[in-house]
Chains A and B, each alone.
Chain A
Amino acid sequence: MRPGCKTFILYTANLLLCTKHYGVLTGKHFFIVITISLFCNAASAQHRVSLSARQITIEEALRKIEAQTGYHAWTEDGVLEKAHKIDIDVNNLGLEQVLEIVFRNQPLAYKVIGQTIVVKLNKENPALLYIKGIVVSEGQPVESASVQLKGSARGVITGTKGEFSLARIPTDTILIVSYVGYQTREVIVGDEKVLQIELFKAAQQLDEPVVIGYGTTSKRTNPGSVGILDSRQIGIQPVTNPLLALQGRIPGLFIQQATGVTDGEVKVSIGGQNSIASGNEPFYVIDGVPFPSATLIQAGGRILVNGSPLVYLNPQDIESISILKDADATAIYGSRGANGVILITTKKGNFGNTKITGYSVIGIARVASKMKLLSTPEYLTMRREAFKNDQTEPDPTVDYDLLSWDTTRNIDWQKELIGRTAYIFQERLSISGRNKQTTYYVSGGYRRETTVFPGTFYNSKGSLHASFNTIGENRKLALNLSVNAALDTKTLPALEPTAKSLTLPPNAPSGYNTDGTFNWAPGYDNPNAKLHQLYKACGNNLIADVNLAYNPLKGLKVKANFGITSTVLKEITPVPVNTINPVLGITTSSSLFANKVVRSWIAEPQFEYIYYLGPGKLTLLTGFTFQDISTNNDNLVASGYIDPSQLETTNGAANIDILDKNSSQYRYFGAFTRLRYDLKNRYIMEVTGRRDGSSRFAPNRQFATFGALGFAWLMMEEPWLKSKLSKVFNFAKLRSSYGITGNDQIGDYQFVDTWQPTTYPYDNRIGLNPLRLYNSEYGWESNRKLNVGFDAALLKNRIQFVISYYLSHSSNQLIEYPLSGITGFPYVQGNLGVIVMNRAVEWEINTLNIKSASTKWTTSLNLTIPRNKLRAFPKLLGSNYAYQYIIGRSLNVFKAFHFLGVNGNTGIYIFEDVDKDGHISFPNDLAANKNVGQKFYGGMLNTVSYKQLSMDIFIQFIKQTGYNYLYGISSMPGMLANQPKYVLSRWQNLQSPGDVERFSQQVNGVTYTAYSNLIASDAVVSDASYIRVKNISLAYCFSGRILRRIRTTQAKLFLQGQNVFTISSYKGVDPENQSINNTLPPLRIYIFGVEITFN
C-alpha cells in the first residue's frame, strides 16, 4: 500500500468510524466514500471466501482473506492485539458475511473501503468484555467451581484461588455459577469487569453434597443411586453402632439388629443376598480408607458374636453416611463393590468461628419386648398333664420341679435375668475452628453403659476424632488429615442368659443359698453361677488418613491418599471353678485367651482433571489403589488353675493349649477411572472402569475388569418441557446405569494348594497331606446391575420423590463346587454357574408440609419391595445346598416338613407326607411352602419444629416372615422347661382339640417324634412383620436472650428414645432379631442430654 493512499484512507476511515453509528453517513462523508468506491471500482460482495481454522488470530484470518480476495487489510498499530482468537469455518461465502463472522464479538470495528478493509478499535461499543472474577463462599475461594455462559456451552473452571476469566463476553450475559454443595447462582454481567461472586451453601436438598467414591456430587446431577444420611439424623439416635442409625432410613438397605447386647452383631445387606457362599457384606470406607469390618471376636462366647469393629466409630463424629447402591456408584470400587459400598465421612472443621461444643447425656435402657411365659400354676398343670398323658409318674431323680422344688414359688426369670435397667452415660467435647489456611475439628468422647443382666457388667468406650485441613499459601497444595481412634473395655457375662430366662421353670429355686454361695440343688442349672463366668475384652482401633492434593495447572489436581487402620482385640473368658456345678467333678479353673490384630494400609495416587471440552464439561478422575491387610490371631485355653484369682494371666495355669493360631495376608491392587461428561447441565454421562487384582486368586486369575455406564437426563432443563411443566415441576431427572462389579469375599488363600501337617506322627515323623485341590481356575464373582430411576421435585420443591428399579444378576458364584469322589475331594472352590437375581422397586418421598416463620413440618417416607430368585444352580442336587434351595425360587425359601396341624383324634402333630410312604422322613418329605424374608420394608420420618422446639419421629415398618419361638426352643411342651403361654391351647381330648400337641414328657414316644418333626417343619416360620417407632427425638434450643445470659451461642436440651414402641403379631420375643439363638432382643433406650456451644 502506498503511503499517500494510506494517509488518505486513514483520514476517511477516521471520519467514518468516529461517527456514532457508522452505517449512517453524513452527506460530505458519503461523497468521499462514493468517490473512493468508484475509484476502486470493485464490488466486495462478489468476492467469495473459504476459510476454516481453529483458534487463529484476526491477523492470520485477514491474511488469508487478503490472499483469496486481493483486498488489503489496513489496521492501526496495536489494534489487533486487543482482539481474541477465533474459530471459523466458512465455505464460499461473500466477503461481507465472512468479515461479519470474523469481527463478531470482537472489540473492533471494520469497514471495507474500496479494496481495503479498515480495522479500528471499537471505542464506542463496549459490548464485548474480557471479564475476570473470583468465586467465594464465606470469605473463602471456591475452587473448581463451574462458571458457564447461559445459553452457550462456553464455560470455565475456577482455579485454586477461585479465580476465573472469560473473554469476549457480550454485555448483559448471564453466568451460571455452580459448585457441588452450593446453590447454583445466575449472575448478570454488567459493566464491571472484575466480578466477585458469592456462593451460598445449598439450602435445597437437591444441591447438597453427596459423597461418592473418590469425590462428591449432588443429588441433582448424580446419575447413580446413592442413599445418604446426614449427621443430624445420625446424631439424634442413641445407638453405638453407626449402622443401626441407618435402619429403615435408606431404601434398598436392610439392617437387622441380631442382638440387644451393645456392640453385638448387626446384619447389613444392600440390594438383597447376591452371593450364596461368599460374603454379602458391603464394602466400608471411612474417610477414604477401606475398613476391614470383619469381626475380631473369637472368644465372645455366645454373648458377642460377629460384632463389627465399626462400633469403634462414634456416631457423633460422623458427618454423613453414603450408601452406594447401583453399578454407576459402586463400579469405581470394582471387585469390592458387588454388595454395595458404605462411605462414612467424619466431621471436619469449617471456616466459621472457633466453637467449643459440649454434649452430655444420661440414659436408660431396658429390654423392649418379653414373651408371655407360663406362671407356676400353669406350668405345673402342663407338667402334671404330661405325666397323665404319658401314663407315668414323675421320677424323683429327674423331675425335681414337681417333687423337690417349692411348687408355690413363681419367678419371672425374664425379669430376674434380663430385666434390669441399663444406665448410659455419655460425654463429648468438640472444638472446631480455623487459623488462616487451616481448619480443624477435634473431638473426644466417652461412653459407659451397664447391662440389663444382674451383675456388675459394663461396656465403656473412649473415642478421639481429629481432622485438620490446610491449604498452602498459594492455594496450590492442600492437605487433609483425619484420625479416628478408640479404646474400649467391657465386662459382660460370657453366656447370654436370655435363653435360660425363657426356659427355666417358674418355680426353679434361687441361684443363691442363704449364705451367698451358689445353689447347686440337683437338676438345677444355676443361671446366676453362669453369670459369674465373665467375658472381658479390651480393644483399640485406629483409622488415620492423609490426603494430599496439588494443583499444578488450572483444572488439574494430583492427589494422593494414604491411610492405615489398626484394630486390636484382646479377650479373656475366665471360668472360675466355683461357677461350675460340683457334680461335674471339675476341681480347677480354666480361662480362654484370644488376641486378634488386623492391620491394613492403603495408598491411592489419583489425578483429577476438569475441562470444558466441546460443548460440555468433562471431569476425568483416574487413580490407583494399593492395599494390604494383615490378620494375626491366636486363641488358647489355659487350664488347671488352682487359684481362680490368676485367671486373667496364663501364669497360674497348669496346661496351655493353643486352639488356633493363624496369620494371613491379603493384597489388592486396582486402577480406576471415572469420566463424566456434563452437557449443558442437561445430559450427564458417566463411564466408570476399574481393573482389579487380588491376592485371593491364583496368579493367572488375579486380574479382572469392572465397569459401568451411567446416564442422567435433567428433563426440566429442556426448554420445551420447561415451558410446559415448570409450573408444577421444579426438577425432573431420569437416570439409568448398567455395569458389572465383583466380589472377592471368599477368604484368603483359598486357591493355594497347601498341605497341612498330619495330626499324628507316622514312623516317628509328622506327615503332610494336601489340604485342598490345587485350583488355579476360580476367579471373581461378578454382579451385573441395572438401575433405572426417576427423581422429581414439584410444587416449589415442596414434594420430592424418587422411584428406582434395580435388577441385578450375580453370577460366576464362588461356591463349593461338588466333585465326584474320583477327584479325591468332595468339593472344590469354583465359579459354578449359579445365578442369583435380585430386583427391587424403591420409593422415596420427601414433603414439606408446613413452612412458616415459626413452624416447619417435613415428612419423608421410603419403601422397598425386594425380590430374590435363584435363577440357575448346576449340580444343585449333588451339592451341599440340595436340601436348602430350589431353582426358580427365592434364596429365602424354607425347605422343611410341611406342618398341617394337630390330629384331632390323637393330639399328635401331623405333616404332609410328600412321598406318600406312610412316614415323615428327611429328605423325601421336604416341602417348600414358606419363605423367610422381607416382602417390603421402609420407614417414615416426620420432623416438626415450632419456634425453639423440634421433634423427629421415625417409624420403621417391615412386612416379613421369620423364625418364631419354636425355632430356638428345643424342649417339648410338658418337659422340664418353661414354655410360652401359647402352649395352653393344647390338645386335651376329642372335645378340646387345640392347636398345640398334647403335653408329654417322654423322649421316646410318638409325641416326641412329632415334636422333633415340628421343629424341623415350616411351623417354625411365621409372620414377623412389625411397625416400630424406632426413634423419637425432642429438642429444645434456647433463645438468644437466655443464651446471652448464660454466655453461650447455642444451648439445646434433648430427649431421645430408641425402639420406643412396636406393633406386631409375632410369636416370639422380638420380631427383629427373632428367636435366632435366643439372643437378647433390641433394647428400648431413652436418653436425656444437653448440648452447649461456646464461641
Chain B
Amino acid sequence: MFRRIVHFAFVISLIFLTNTSCKKFLSVRPPNGQLTTSAIFANDSTATAAILGIYEGLSSESEAFPSGRKSLSVLCGLSADELDNYSGIPDAKQFYFNDISPDNGLNSGIWDQLYESIYRCNSLLDGLSASSKITFQVRQQLSGEALFLRAYFYFYLINLYGSVPLSTTTTYQENDKLQRSPIKTVYNYIKNDLITARQLLTEEYASGRERIRANRSAVNALLARIYLYTHNWEQCITSATAIIGRKNQYQLCGNLTDVFLKNSSEAILQLQPTVPRYNTFDAEVFILNSIPTVVAFRPEFLSVFETADKRMTSWISSISIDNTTFYFPYKYKAKSGESIKEYLMMLRLSEQYLIRAEAYAQLGRVDNANTDINTIRERAGLSPLSLTSIDSTLQAIYKERQVELFTEWAHRWLDLKRTCRADYTLGFLKSPGWRSEDTLYPIPRSEITLNPNLTQNAGY
C-alpha cells in the first residue's frame, strides 16, 4: 500500500512540476499605464512614440545638456571664453575656472544624460530589429532617426571627454564593464551609422512642416561637421553642399531675428519645446531682467564683434543695473508665459556654410571659402572679405564661427580645442589656472569607481 501511495504522489507531483501550465500560471497582466518592450514594438504607433520619447526627453528637462543652466551652451561657454559665472554653485565655478573635479555633479550630469539618451536609441534600435511587426517605411524612418541621434550624442561625448566607451546595446552587463574606445573607432562607428541613416531617411521631415525630427539633411549636416572634425575635407564639402544646394528647403534668414523662430528656413533640425507655456530654456537662462545669477557675457567677448555686425544688436542684449551693464545672449527672445515662438536649434544652415568654407580653405580653394564666409557676413551686415592665404582665411572662418555660433551647443569650446587654439586663447585669459589637460573634462569619479575598466583623463 505504501508503495502505491508513493507512486500516486509521485505521479501527481510530476503532473504539477513538469506541466508548463505552472509557468503560464505565473504570467501576470502588465501594470497599468506601462507597456512592455514587446508591446511597444508590436505596432507602428507605439514604436514611433518611442522615438518621440527621446526627443521629448531632450526637450522637457529644464536642466539638461541641450538647454538651460546645465546645458553645454552654458557650461562649455563658461569653460571657453564666452561667459562669466555668476552662480554660487561650486560646480559651476569649476567649469568657469577650468578646474573641474571628477566629483563635479554638473559634469557627471552631462555624461549620464548623454549615455541615458544613447541607451534610449539603443533600446529603440534593439526593439526594431527584434520586431517583425513594424512596417517597412516606419522601420526605415525610426532606425534612421535613432542612428542619427546616437551619433549626435557620441559626437559630444568624444569631444568633451576624449575617448569614451562605445555602448551600442542595451545589455547593461556589458555596458557596465566597457573600456574606452579610441576616438577614431568612435568616429568611424558614428560615420558608418550616419551613412546608414542617410540611406534610411528621406528629405521629408516625419514631423511634416515642423523641422523637429531628423531627416536626411540633418544627417548630412552632422556628417559634414564630423568630416570637418576628422579632416575629411572632400567628404565634408560634399555633405555640406548637399544641404546648401537644397535652396527650396533651406535658406539663410534675411532677418537675423527670424533665425531662431520655430521652423525658420535656416533650421535643419530643431527641438520643439514641450513644457506648456515655456519656450526654450536657453531663453530662460540667458535673458536677464536683473543682476545675473547664472551667467552673462564676458565683456571681452564682445570686443570680437566688428562694429557694423548686426548680430551684436540682434543676438545680444544688455541690462544696466547700478551703472554696471551686463550683456547676455539674446538669440532666443521668448521666455516662459509667451506663446511658443521659438524652438531650440540643433543644426542650422549657417554652420554648414562655415563648415564648407573651412574645408575649401583647407584644400586651398580660398575663393570658394571667401564666397561661403561672405554669405554669412553679408547677412550680418558686414562687408565681404577677399582673403588670399589659407591661413588668414582659416583665421577669418574661426572668428566668423565665434560670432555666428556663440552660446550654441558648445561650438566655441569645441572649435578652440579642435583647432588647437585653446592653450593660446585660454592660457592667457585664464592664467594661472589653465592647463592643456583642461581641454578634456574629467570622467566622473563615480564612473571609475563603478567600472574599474575606465581610466581617468590626464591631469585629473
- Pair from one complex: yes
Partner of A768, one of B49, B111, B207, B450: B49
Contact with A along B24-63 (1 / 0, CB 8 A): 0111111111111100100000101111111111011000
CA distance A752 to B30 in the complex (A): 9
The smallest beta-carbon distance between B423 and chain A, in angstroms, is 29
B32 with A755: CB separation less than 8 A: no
Contact with B along A633-677 (1 / 0, CB 8 A): 000000000000000000000000000011111111101000000
Q: Does A585 contact B (CB under 8 A)?
A: no
Partner of B55, one of A624, A754, A767: A767
B5 with A767: CB separation less than 8 A: no
Q: Does B274 contact A (CB under 8 A)?
A: yes
Interface centre among A607, A669, A702, A768 (most CB of B within 10 A): A768
From A258-266, A769-777, A861-869, the one touching the partner chain is: A769-777
B212 with A822: CB separation less than 8 A: no
The smallest beta-carbon distance between B173 and chain A, in angstroms, is 8
Closest residue of chain A to B39 (Cβ to Cβ) is A755
Q: Does B447 contact A (CB under 8 A)?
A: yes
Please judge, given known A-B contacts A694-B26, A758-B57, whether A753 and B17 are in contact too, CB under 8 Å.
Answer: no
Partner of B172, one of A669, A757, A823: A823
Q: Does A167 contact B (CB under 8 A)?
A: no
A823 with B56: CB separation less than 8 A: no
CA distance A620 to B12 in the complex (A): 15
Q: Does B170 contact A (CB under 8 A)?
A: yes
Residues of A within 8 A of B123 (CB): 770, 774
CA distance A754 to B38 in the complex (A): 9
A755 with B50: CB separation less than 8 A: yes
Q: Does A586 contact B (CB under 8 A)?
A: no
CA distance A667 to B26 in the complex (A): 5
Residues of B within 8 A of A661 (CB): 32-33
CA distance A748 to B29 in the complex (A): 11
Residues of B within 8 A of A754 (CB): 30-31, 34-37
The smallest beta-carbon distance between A405 and chain B, in angstroms, is 37
The smallest beta-carbon distance between A605 and chain B, in angstroms, is 8
A824 with B165: CB separation less than 8 A: no
Please judge, given known A-B contacts A662-B32, A755-B36, whether A820 and B450 are in contact too, CB under 8 Å.
Answer: yes
CA distance A777 to B173 in the complex (A): 10
Contact with B along A745-757 (1 / 0, CB 8 A): 0001100111111
B13 with A758: CB separation less than 8 A: no
Partner of A878, one of B25, B33, B55, B450: B450
Q: Does B253 contact A (CB under 8 A)?
A: no
Partner of A773, one of B5, B12, B13, B170: B170
B450 with A818: CB separation less than 8 A: yes
CA distance A292 to B59 in the complex (A): 42
Q: Does B349 contact A (CB under 8 A)?
A: no
Q: Does B414 contact A (CB under 8 A)?
A: no
Residues of A within 8 A of B26 (CB): 667-669, 693-695, 699, 702
B23 with A699: CB separation less than 8 A: yes
B2 with A611: CB separation less than 8 A: yes
Please judge, given known A-B contacts A748-B28, A767-B51, A824-B175, whether A607 and B9 are in contact too, CB under 8 Å.
Answer: yes
A768 with B447: CB separation less than 8 A: no
**B-facing residues in A801-834 (Cβ within 8 Å):** 818-826, 828
Residues of A within 8 A of B207 (CB): 763
Q: Does B444 contact A (CB under 8 A)?
A: yes
Residues of B within 8 A of A671 (CB): 13, 16-17
Q: Does B120 contact A (CB under 8 A)?
A: yes
The smallest beta-carbon distance between B349 and chain A, in angstroms, is 22
B176 with A665: CB separation less than 8 A: no
Residues of A within 8 A of B165 (CB): 822
Q: Does A1038 contact B (CB under 8 A)?
A: no
B447 with A762: CB separation less than 8 A: no
Q: Does B88 contact A (CB under 8 A)?
A: no
Partner of A769, one of B30, B46, B54, B275: B54
Residues of A within 8 A of B275 (CB): 760
The smallest beta-carbon distance between B49 and chain A, in angstroms, is 4
CA distance A765 to B274 in the complex (A): 10
Partner of A825, one of B1, B54, B116: B116
Contact with B along A594-622 (1 / 0, CB 8 A): 00000000000001010101000000101
B176 with A626: CB separation less than 8 A: no
CA distance A771 to B53 in the complex (A): 11
Contact with B along A893-908 (1 / 0, CB 8 A): 0000000000000000
Contact with B along A689-733 (1 / 0, CB 8 A): 001011100010010000000000000000000000000000000
CA distance A773 to B172 in the complex (A): 8
Partner of B59, one of A668, A752, A757, A762: A762
B176 with A820: CB separation less than 8 A: yes
Interface band, chain B: 35 or more
B29 with A823: CB separation less than 8 A: no
Please judge, given known A-B contacts A765-B52, A768-B40, A768-B46, whether A824 and B25 are in contact too, CB under 8 Å.
Answer: no
Interface band, chain A: 35 or more
Residues of A within 8 A of B34 (CB): 749, 752, 754-756, 771
The smallest beta-carbon distance between B65 and chain A, in angstroms, is 13
Please judge, given known A-B contacts A749-B30, A821-B116, whether A553 and B1 are in contact too, CB under 8 Å.
Answer: yes
Partner of B25, one of A626, A766, A775: A626
Q: Does A875 contact B (CB under 8 A)?
A: yes
Q: Does A1003 contact B (CB under 8 A)?
A: no
Closest residue of chain A to B1 (Cβ to Cβ) is A553
Please judge, given known A-B contacts A752-B36, A875-B450, whether A821 and B108 are in contact too, CB under 8 Å.
Answer: yes
Q: Does B112 contact A (CB under 8 A)?
A: yes
CA distance A821 to B111 in the complex (A): 7
Closest residue of chain A to B451 (Cβ to Cβ) is A820
Residues of A within 8 A of B2 (CB): 609, 611, 613
A819 with B172: CB separation less than 8 A: yes
Residues of A within 8 A of B167 (CB): 822-824
Residues of B within 8 A of A878 (CB): 446, 449-450
B55 with A663: CB separation less than 8 A: no
Q: Does B213 contact A (CB under 8 A)?
A: yes
Contact with B along A1046-1058 (1 / 0, CB 8 A): 0000000000000
Residues of A within 8 A of B173 (CB): 777
CA distance A669 to B17 in the complex (A): 10
CA distance A269 to B372 in the complex (A): 75
The smallest beta-carbon distance between A636 and chain B, in angstroms, is 14
**A-facing residues in B45-94 (Cβ within 8 Å):** 46, 48-57, 59-60
Residues of B within 8 A of A194 (CB): none
Partner of B53, one of A553, A626, A767, A824: A767
The smallest beta-carbon distance between B64 and chain A, in angstroms, is 13
Residues of B within 8 A of A691 (CB): 17
CA distance A610 to B66 in the complex (A): 73
CA distance A654 to B57 in the complex (A): 32
CA distance A624 to B17 in the complex (A): 10
Please judge, given known A-B contacts A752-B36, A762-B56, A821-B115, whether A624 and B16 are in contact too, CB under 8 Å.
Answer: yes
Q: Does A548 contact B (CB under 8 A)?
A: no
Please judge, given known A-B contacts A763-B210, A821-B112, whether A775 and B172 are in contact too, CB under 8 Å.
Answer: yes
Please judge, given known A-B contacts A766-B49, A822-B176, whether A666 and B28 are in contact too, CB under 8 Å.
Answer: yes
The smallest beta-carbon distance between B340 and chain A, in angstroms, is 12
CA distance A749 to B35 in the complex (A): 11
Q: Does A761 contact B (CB under 8 A)?
A: yes
Q: Does A7 contact B (CB under 8 A)?
A: no
The smallest beta-carbon distance between A501 and chain B, in angstroms, is 39
With A661-B33, A691-B17, A754-B36 given, name 4 new contacts (CB 8 A). Answer: A667-B28, A767-B55, A769-B50, A770-B37
* Cross-chain pairs A/B with CB under 8 angstroms, 30 sampled: A611-B2, A613-B2, A661-B33, A663-B32, A665-B29, A669-B26, A693-B22, A749-B31, A753-B36, A754-B30, A754-B37, A756-B33, A758-B60, A759-B56, A762-B55, A762-B272, A763-B207, A763-B210, A763-B212, A765-B48, A765-B52, A766-B49, A767-B51, A767-B53, A768-B49, A769-B120, A770-B37, A774-B170, A822-B451, A824-B175
Nearest first, the 8 closest Cβ-Cβ pairs linking A and B are: A824-B119, A767-B53, A767-B52, A760-B274, A754-B34, A769-B53, A821-B112, A762-B56
